[in-house]
Amino acid sequence: MNSNPTILALVLAGGEGSRLYPLTAVRSKPSVPFGGRFRIVDFVLSNLVNSGIHSIYLLVQYKSQSLIEHVNHAWTLSNAIPDQFVTVVPPQMREGPEWFQGTADAVYQNLNLIGSREPDMVAVFGADHIYRMDVRQMVGFHQRNGADVSVAAIPIPLGLASSFGVITADDDGRVSDFIEKPEQPVPMPGRSNCAYGSMGNYLFNTEVLKQALLESSERGENDFGRHILPRLIRSHKVYAYDFSTNRVPGIHAYEEPAYWRDVGTIEAYYAAHMDLLGLEPRFNIFNPKWRIFSSGYQGPSSKIIDGKIKNSLIGAGAIIKGGSIRNSIVRREVMIEEDVELEDCIIMDYTIIRKGARLRRVIVDRYNTIAAGTQIGYDSDADRARYHVSESGLVVVSRGDELSASRYS
Task: List pLDDT tens digits, range 230-268.
Answer: 999 999 999 999 999 999 999 999 999 999 999 999 999
CATH assignment at residue 209? 3.90.550.10
Same domain assignment for residues 327 and 252: no
Is 90 exceeded by the pLDDT of residue 78?
no
Q: pLDDT at position 98, please?
A: 60
Higher model confidence: residue 273 or residue 104? 273
Q: What is the mean pLDDT of residues 73-100?
A: 76
Q: Which domain holds residue 329?
A: 303-397
Q: Is 393 within the bounds of a domain?
A: yes
**328 domain residue, yes or no:** yes
Query: Does the annotation flag 165 for ligand binding?
Result: yes
228: left (phi over 0), alpha (psi -120 to 50) or beta: alpha
**pLDDT for the residue 405:** 53
Q: Does residue 95 carry a pLDDT above 90? A: no
Residues 117 and 55: beta-carbon distance below 8 Å: yes
Lowest mean pLDDT, pick from 11-15, 322-326, 335-339: 11-15
Determine if residue 317 is labeled as part of a ligand binding site. Answer: no
**pLDDT-derived band at 92, boundaries 50, 70, 90:** low
- Is 237 one of the annotated binding-site residues? no
Q: Which residue has the higher pLDDT, 222 or 287?
A: 287
Q: How many CA atoms lie within 13 A of 387 on its CB side?
A: 29
232, 262, 292 - which closes a domain: 262
Is residue 197, in this structure, part of any structural domain at all?
A: yes
pLDDT of 91 above 90: no
Over the stretch 173-213, which tens digit does the pLDDT of each residue have?
999 999 999 999 989 988 889 999 999 999 999 999 999 99
pTM, two decimal places: 0.94
Residue range 101-151, pLDDT digits in tens: 788 988 998 999 999 999 999 999 999 999 999 999 999 999 999 999 999
For residues 329 and 247, state if they share a domain.
no
Same domain, 373 and 254: no
Is 273 part of any domain? no
Convert the pLDDT of each residue in 351-394 to its tens digit.
Answer: 999 999 999 999 999 999 999 999 999 999 999 999 999 999 99
Give domain status of residue 294, yes or no. no
Assess whether pLDDT exceeds 50 at residue 408: no
Q: Are residues 110 and 238 in the same domain?
A: yes
Say if CB 394 and CB 362 are below 8 A apart: yes
Region 25-31: mean pLDDT is 94
Radius of gyration of the chain measured on its C-alpha atoms = 22
* 210 domain residue, yes or no: yes
Residues 242 and 314 in one domain: no
| 98 in the same domain as 208 | yes
Query: Can you give the pLDDT at residue 71?
Result: 93
pLDDT band, residue 407 (cuts 50/70/90) = very low
Residues 357, 377, 131, 57: what is their CA dihedral angle, to the nearest 10 degrees? -80
For 66-83, what is the mean pLDDT?
Answer: 85
State the Cα–Cα distance between residues 183 and 77, nearest whole angstrom.
Answer: 43
What pLDDT shows up at residue 404?
Answer: 58
Does residue 99 register a pLDDT over 70? no
Judge if 136 and 87 occupy the same domain.
yes
Across the chain, mean pLDDT equals: 93
Q: Is 217 annotated as a binding residue?
A: no
Statement to judge: residues 203 and 129 lie in one domain: yes
* CA dihedral angle for residue 315, residue 311, residue 260, residue 9, rounded to 10 degrees: 10
The verdict on residue 168 lying in a domain is yes
> In the chain, how many domains are there?
2
- Residue 27 in this model has a pLDDT that exceeds 60: yes
Q: Mark whether 323 and 250 lie in a shared domain.
A: no
